[in-house]
Structure 1
Amino acid sequence: MNRLYKNSCVLCGIFLLAHMAGAQDVKQLEELQIRDAKTDVNGLRRLSDVENMGIYAGKKNEVVVPDNLNANLATNNARQIYSRVPGVNIIENDSYGVQLGIATRGLNPNRTTEFNSRQNGYDISADPIGYPESYYTPPAEAIDRIEIVRGAASLQYGTQFGGLLNFQFKKGNPDKKFELDSRQTIGTYGVFNSFNAVGGQVGKVNYYAFYQHKQADGWRSNTNLNLNAGYGALTWQLTPKLKAGAELTFMDYLMKQPGGLTDAQFEADPQASYRNGNWFKAQWTIPAAYLDYALSEATRLNVRAYGLIAGRGSVGNIINPLRDKTDTTARRQLSYDHYRNWGGEIRLLHRYRVAGKVSSMLAGARYFQGHTRKKQGTGFTGKDAEFHFPDPGKVDEFDYLFPSHNAALFIENVLWLSGKWTVTPGFRMEYINTNARGYSIEEKTGANVPGRQSKTRAFPLFGIGVNYALTQKAELYFNISQNYSPVNFSDIQVRTPNFQVDPDLKDVTGFNADLGFRGHHKDWLHFDLSAYYLDYNNRIGIIRKASDDGLEVIRYRTNVGRSRSRGVEAYGEINFFRLFALHKETGDLSLFASIAYTDAQYTKAINPLLTTLIVGRQVEFAPKLITRAGITYRRGRFGTTVQTAYTSMQYSDAYNSPHTADGLVGEVPAYQLFDWTANYRLSKFSISMSVNNLLNKHYFTRRALGFPGPGIIPSDGRTGYLSIGFRI
């Protein structure tokens, strides 16, 4: 540790000397925020070396532009929206895009916990330090772009292994005082989505706001959704140098969930449901404010603050299997969380000259304070959406507070060594304090067991990136950055039947490394080919052990061991009509493919007794092959895309167990799907049609140990949608 601190001091000294050396050479520089001159191709582009108060030189990244995709935006269809991002593994928590579940490189996709999830640059998950699950997903129809930076984002944004996932909302049309954008969507199984947005520019004030209502009956029985969401933003250019903004987001939804199935039940009828009283709800309110100040032509300051007032609840029968295939009289377990968080971040971006080359330095600080309260116990019987405890003062499983504190300092610097070489060293100093206090009820004796924990850690993270420009349109890039993942609150305290948690869980440490080649040729070829290596130590997983009395098998969450993921990620898109200079007469015909091969294995077991059971096994949630490909035709106002998506077999536990009779663990079989979308746009009106799962395949992406299962959570069969929109 001392060596790391000394290295951090040396690194900071290098930054300071570089700044001092170039301070006298700084002249009047042009725009500080450089945007990549390359336009997106069918909804995908790259981040520039320096863009939006961030440094991305040497980092693997993608920018998805939803409006330029032929995709079903009304349901946030992740399979289509992230189709050009190689290696995105998807857990389909629901069919409407309410809860996004994605990951890459063998990480757990559940509610996108491995990404640092942000909206307009600030956190939107329940607690990014202690409980980074995302119950709120911004509607795709309101999104201007989705920025994805792999694990190398750990130094600037947060320590997560997955990297950054930032949803950037649209702004008001600067050329109009008022503009209305409305899209109405209907679909099979009772889907109705109404999205309505207004925006514009009045003097020095830009505004944008939307309201969304979504409802559905669902492909399976005992399914229902009712969602309302809204957002409002004002940006005021106070002076030529100073800009201020304020934003408010809200979301409220209630879902009836059909529960899980055993393998036998899934094979017999994947649309069946034997639970008619399982419900889930979430309420999200996010206020935010920011200031942008141009200190000079070369220096810009950004300050932002945000908060979260939110809650999520689930109630239902999680016994599996149900003896009489009905849950009308059985005990329902109620779990409810309250979140009260706030945080702030300051960033300083400065450009300076060294040896005649303009370099960029980004320095910043972050502070976050979270307050989570989790309660779980017996809920009311019946089948209504009742999210109150019979005795609120004393629940019969547990009642805990989880306060958390996080502070960080970070610095990165792009140094141009020549006209072709850049090097980007970076450093982050992280402080994390997590606490737990409350009580739990001993399951067999009914005794009240008080609990109190506190854990503080401070550590540095390092990284470096290198770019080499082969031509103006092609480059080699390399990055290696350290990552860190603290133990989640859900790992510390959870209770479901025959499930326990190790009280001595350890944080996860490791790193990401990327080596790649990316670029484009004229306007007909775009590509990104890279290899990666991910080291993941103290991986948390589930093993099986005997209960204390030896009569039952307990599924036990603990630090299983060390794993490594290595693989190849490739994306390419070719426009045939532009290649042969036919596009002016015939339109555009393009073929894209994104392919990811992942070899993720356990290399070490923490418990020597598990060595023969897990070492060499495939990591759970790590399909070896994920491919997506599609063909798009555009001419004038018409566009259509046919897409295929294949995900190979993956496992749900570290043992690579074959499926069990209760459906809780086992393999998730490989599946291949086809989707089709077409749209036609007039000057003010548009119409879009889409069919998901065109061939009506029966498949699933998840086996749930508890809610919303337990057991297999089937995905939807064939579904169709029609959207009509207008803009005035």
Structure 2
Amino acid sequence: MKKALLSVACLGTVAAYAQTKDSLQTREVDEVVLTASRKKENIKEVPSSVTIVGEKQIQSQLTVNSDITSILQYTVPSLATSSGQTSNTGQTLRGRQVLVLIDGIPQSTPLRNGARDLRVIDPSVIERIEVIKGASSIYGNGADGGIINYITRRSQSDKKISGISQIGITGQPYGGTLGFRASQLLSGKITQNFDYVASLAYERTGYMKDADGVNLSPTYSPAKMDNYNGMLKLGYNINDNQRIEASYIGYASKSDLDLGLKTGKYGITPTIGEGRGLNLDTTPQGTPRNHNYKLSYDNKNLFWNTSLNVNLYYQDFRTVYGYSDTFFNGGQSNVISKKKGARINLDTQLWNAQNSQGEIIYGADILNDQTVQKLEDGRYWTPDMDMTNIAPFLLVKVDLLKKLTIKGGLRYENMKVKVGDFNTLSTLKADGTFTKSIFVQGGDLEYNALVGNIGIRYNFEPYINLFGSFSQAYSINELGRILRTSTSDTITNLETKPIIVNNYEFGATGQIAKWLNYEITSYVSTSKLGATFIQSPDRALTIQRAPEVVYGVEGYVHFTPKKWINFGGSYSWMEGVTSLKDDGDYSAKINNSRISAPKILAYLQIRPIQSLSVGLDMLHAFKQDRFDPNAKGLYVYGEGEVPAYTVFNFKSTYEVNTNWRLSLGIENVFNKMYQPAIAWWAARDSDFTNSSGMRGTFMIEYKF
């Protein structure tokens, strides 16, 4: 098996949270390979922590809820819980922002984080999800907390045509909630050297209601939404050493939810959807386009034990938000982002002896990111931002005695951002007055840094393997939000310094008697200048730049005592502190918008007969009480007290025969009334919403 770079500039932690609950068999850890690092790698050589959500697990979770943010909250220990909305605000990874990728193509918009980057693909086309935890610069800007990479399906059949057809309905025990979804996947080999994958998926959701049958808030609601996903991959093997592949993946979501907003009272009465919405000619909320194009070339033997991988990509993304009257004359905003880039990866084997191996991995990344936030009528909320990032890298890897792996690397970040001239928007303050619009002169910003990593892993025995690493991330996250609230007439007077994160990690993992897998990991990440949303005196959100430290622990354990039963779970806890006066006093806490409550995930899966599988998942979020209310008894944004809650999901599949399968899943099977964490920590009346009540999904699948 070829060895590879886990992270060119960053070797975060590797906890192979490849849950076995859907295979009902303990998976050998050394069989799991990682491609989020651009190349395959034996997990026993990785000194870092990665959660791998496999294909069977994704399909099992899809039976319960097709929302990818829900699938992730039930499978990734250190990821914050989902908001249940189209926005993934607050769903941080280890207390920091995450960079989302599809087959290595960046989906996040760190120049103006619109929090719509997790819901950009349909789960039916995902082969697996790789979550690299800890600061990483392997794919450039935005990975302060790690990377989530959606790896799409490949052709794995020698037939000319094979496929998977799925059709399903969703609904709640209330009127108007019926939804529908269908998907078709085709793959195969047209000739011995030419293969393909093609997929179409469509979903129409119904109304979303809480445990009492009341419509949930229409703000960022996934209700009454049309979701579309298309994928086409064409691959050609030139010879045994060379391959070229072209792909297109497109996603769109549009809502026609016509509900009025009835604002509740924080902590008392939820905000709900009632009656009809405003009689305005508005653009449907959602993500009307997310186009991803990729062309890749691989050569396994370019010269002298050297392999080459080249990726060229282009992404065109637009997301639309709801109508807001906080702007002068009101309006809807868009985040529009276009990225194009190239990644060049060379891997030279220095030596390959019986008990030791050495290699050097080197190359360069080139990325151009053009991002802007505008209102539908053309007014600029942020200026045009045009970033070019050129980053050469180098990594050395040594394996000794088939037990010890040492990795170390450097990456040079060179970012240049051209900022256009613009006028800030006049917006409504909490006291009813408007801020004045001012002209801001743009200009050029430049950021340079050398970031590095080093990691060590020692595999003593199958039952105990130790790893430790240091890694760094470098990003200019949320530059657009800083610029759009400018009070200066020139960008040179604004605090736009980048975020440099240092991540330290130590962990242990192992397998005991082939029926128990475990891992425990501890981490600390520091930054001299972090970025956190806080609430200003006029209740507007601003960004606080201050030194900070985030630390935590996480772990999992999986049992498979018999082939017909397996069970296990995970636990994650974190804390974050900051020095507001930059005096070394870290007594202030980073607010709950980034630091999520401790979380337990647990599961039980049984197979009473060969053709039937039945399972139960549990998510328990602990109480989070880290701040005190002010003199008026009110919490500010990010500091609200979050109550504990526990939710159970039921899922089952029945194999009719080798071709047909029936699935039934029930989300919130006990119809528990609760609120998502964001409803509490946001501490705003409009954000205080209930979560969805019991919701079922029935699916029929045909494989051929």
What interval of TM-score do these two structures reach, taking the shorter chain for normalisation?
0.7 to 0.9
Greater Cα shift, 291-300 or 444-453: 444-453
* SS, match of residue 576 in structure 1: strand
Which residue of 2 is the match for residue 701 of structure 1?
Answer: 677
Cα distance in 2 for partners of 1:515, 1:349 equals 27
* SS, match of residue 61 in structure 2: coil
* SS, match of residue 667 in structure 1: coil
Contact 1:206 1:235 (C-alpha < 8 Å) held by counterparts: yes
When the two structures are superposed, what TM-score results if normalisation uses the length of structure 2? Answer: 0.82
Which residue of 2 is the match for residue 570 of structure 1?
Answer: 555
* Residue type of the alignment partner of 1:630: Y
Which residue of 2 is the match for residue 646 of structure 1?
Answer: 620
Q: Which runs of 5+ in 2 are unaligned?
A: 7-13, 172-176, 210-214, 427-433
User: Displacement of 1:717 after TM fit?
Assistant: 1.5
Cα distance in 2 for partners of 1:662, 1:656 equals 8
Which residue of 2 is the match for residue 625 of structure 1?
Answer: 598
Contact 2:116 2:319 (C-alpha < 8 Å) held by counterparts: no
* Residue type of the alignment partner of 1:42: K
* Residue type of the alignment partner of 2:286: K
* SS, match of residue 430 in structure 1: strand
Task: From the superposition, tell whether residues 494 and 442 of structure 1 become closer, same or farther in structure 2 (CA, over 3 Å).
Answer: closer
Match of 1:120 among 103, 106, 110: 103
User: Displacement of 1:138 after TM fit?
Assistant: 2.2
Cα distance in 2 for partners of 1:485, 1:657 equals 37
Task: From the superposition, tell whether residues 709 and 624 of structure 1 become closer, same or farther in structure 2 (CA, over 3 Å).
Answer: closer
Task: From the superposition, tell whether residues 691 and 319 of structure 1 become closer, same or farther in structure 2 (CA, over 3 Å).
Answer: farther
Q: What does 1:482-497 align with in structure 2 at a 5 Å threshold?
A: 482-494=472-484
User: Displacement of 1:249 after TM fit?
Assistant: 1.3
Contact 2:33 2:40 (C-alpha < 8 Å) held by counterparts: no
Which residue of 2 is the match for residue 7 of structure 1?
Answer: none
Contact 1:155 1:410 (C-alpha < 8 Å) held by counterparts: no
* Residue type of the alignment partner of 1:215: R
Cα distance in 2 for partners of 1:462, 1:33 equals 17
Contact 1:155 1:427 (C-alpha < 8 Å) held by counterparts: no
Deviations 1:487-543 (A, max 9, x none): 4244224479xxxx9942432222111111112224311111111112133222244
Cα distance in 2 for partners of 1:207, 1:658 equals 63
Structure 1 position 716 matched with structure 2 position 692: yes
User: Displacement of 1:695 after TM fit?
Assistant: 2.1
Instruction: Give me the CA root mean square deviation.
Output: 3.8
Contact 1:206 1:234 (C-alpha < 8 Å) held by counterparts: yes
Q: What does 1:81-160 align with in structure 2 at a 5 Å threshold?
A: 81=72, 83-94=74-85, 102-107=91-96, 114-126=97-109, 134=117, 136-151=119-134, 153-155=136-138, 160=143
Structure 1 position 679 matched with structure 2 position 653: yes
Contact 2:265 2:685 (C-alpha < 8 Å) held by counterparts: no
Deviations 1:444-485 (A, max 9, x none): 586661431421011011111001111145411111112223
When the two structures are superposed, what TM-score results if normalisation uses the length of structure 1? Answer: 0.79
Contact 2:318 2:337 (C-alpha < 8 Å) held by counterparts: yes
Contact 1:487 1:506 (C-alpha < 8 Å) held by counterparts: no
User: Displacement of 1:217 after TM fit?
Assistant: 2.5
Task: From the superposition, tell whether residues 659 and 288 of structure 1 become closer, same or farther in structure 2 (CA, over 3 Å).
Answer: farther
Contact 2:629 2:636 (C-alpha < 8 Å) held by counterparts: no
Contact 2:307 2:348 (C-alpha < 8 Å) held by counterparts: yes
* SS, match of residue 538 in structure 1: coil
User: Displacement of 1:366 after TM fit?
Assistant: 0.4
* SS, match of residue 504 in structure 2: strand
Deviations 1:222-250 (A, max 9, x none): 54211211010011001111100000111
* Residue type of the alignment partner of 1:412: L
Cα distance in 2 for partners of 1:638, 1:290 equals 41
Structure 1 position 506 matched with structure 2 position 482: no
Which residue of 2 is the match for residue 667 of structure 1?
Answer: 641
* Residue type of the alignment partner of 1:452: G
Deviations 1:125-147 (A, max 9, x none): 34679878516432222111111
Which residue of 1 is the match for residue 178 of structure 2?
Answer: 190
User: Displacement of 1:33 after TM fit?
Assistant: 7.4
Task: From the superposition, tell whether residues 136 and 49 of structure 1 become closer, same or farther in structure 2 (CA, over 3 Å).
Answer: closer
Q: What does 1:221-240 align with in structure 2 at a 5 Å threshold?
A: 221=215, 222=218, 223-240=223-240
Contact 2:532 2:590 (C-alpha < 8 Å) held by counterparts: no
Deviations 1:560-606 (A, max 9, x none): 422222221110001122xxxxx4xxxx211111101212223x114
* Residue type of the alignment partner of 2:373: K
Structure 1 position 344 matched with structure 2 position 349: no
Match of 2:588 among 608, 615, 636: 615
Q: What does 1:38-437 align with in structure 2 at a 5 Å threshold?
A: 41-42=20-21, 47-48=32-33, 53=39, 57-68=46-57, 70-73=60-63, 75-76=66-67, 78-81=69-72, 83-94=74-85, 102-107=91-96, 114-126=97-109, 134=117, 136-151=119-134, 153-155=136-138, 160-188=143-171, 189-203=177-191, 204-220=193-209, 221=215, 222=218, 223-256=223-256, 264=265, 267-269=268-270, 271-273=272-274, 276-277=277-278, 279-282=284-287, 283-295=289-301, 298-317=305-324, 332-353=330-351, 357-376=356-375, 388-389=376-377, 392=378, 395=379, 398=381, 400-437=383-420
Higher strand share: 1
Cα distance in 2 for partners of 1:626, 1:529 equals 15
Task: From the superposition, tell whether residues 542 and 659 of structure 1 become closer, same or farther in structure 2 (CA, over 3 Å).
Answer: farther
Task: From the superposition, tell whether residues 442 and 420 of structure 1 become closer, same or farther in structure 2 (CA, over 3 Å).
Answer: closer
Which residue of 1 is the match for residue 447 of structure 2?
Answer: 457
* SS, match of residue 481 in structure 2: helix
Cα distance in 2 for partners of 1:318, 1:659 equals 28
Cα distance in 2 for partners of 1:522, 1:298 equals 38
Task: From the superposition, tell whether residues 270 and 132 of structure 1 become closer, same or farther in structure 2 (CA, over 3 Å).
Answer: closer
Cα distance in 1 for partners of 2:160, 2:576 equals 53
Cα distance in 2 for partners of 1:259, 1:664 equals 26
Task: From the superposition, tell whether residues 81 and 334 of structure 1 become closer, same or farther in structure 2 (CA, over 3 Å).
Answer: closer
User: Displacement of 1:430 after TM fit?
Assistant: 0.6
Contact 2:17 2:556 (C-alpha < 8 Å) held by counterparts: no
Cα distance in 2 for partners of 1:38, 1:85 equals 8
Contact 1:529 1:570 (C-alpha < 8 Å) held by counterparts: yes
Deviations 1:108-135 (A, max 9, x none): xxxxxx2222112222234679878516
* Residue type of the alignment partner of 2:391: A
Task: From the superposition, tell whether residues 311 and 618 of structure 1 become closer, same or farther in structure 2 (CA, over 3 Å).
Answer: closer
Contact 1:590 1:633 (C-alpha < 8 Å) held by counterparts: yes
* Residue type of the alignment partner of 1:427: L
Contact 2:155 2:195 (C-alpha < 8 Å) held by counterparts: yes
Contact 1:152 1:479 (C-alpha < 8 Å) held by counterparts: no
* SS, match of residue 62 in structure 2: coil
Greater Cα shift, 676-685 or 660-669: 660-669
Which residue of 1 is the match for residue 431 of structure 2?
Answer: none
Contact 1:532 1:567 (C-alpha < 8 Å) held by counterparts: yes
Contact 2:120 2:290 (C-alpha < 8 Å) held by counterparts: no
Which residue of 2 is the match for residue 110 of structure 1?
Answer: none
Cα distance in 2 for partners of 1:178, 1:103 equals 40
User: Displacement of 1:57 after TM fit?
Assistant: 1.8
User: Displacement of 1:362 after TM fit?
Assistant: 1.8
Task: From the superposition, tell whether residues 651 and 557 of structure 1 become closer, same or farther in structure 2 (CA, over 3 Å).
Answer: farther
Contact 1:115 1:164 (C-alpha < 8 Å) held by counterparts: yes
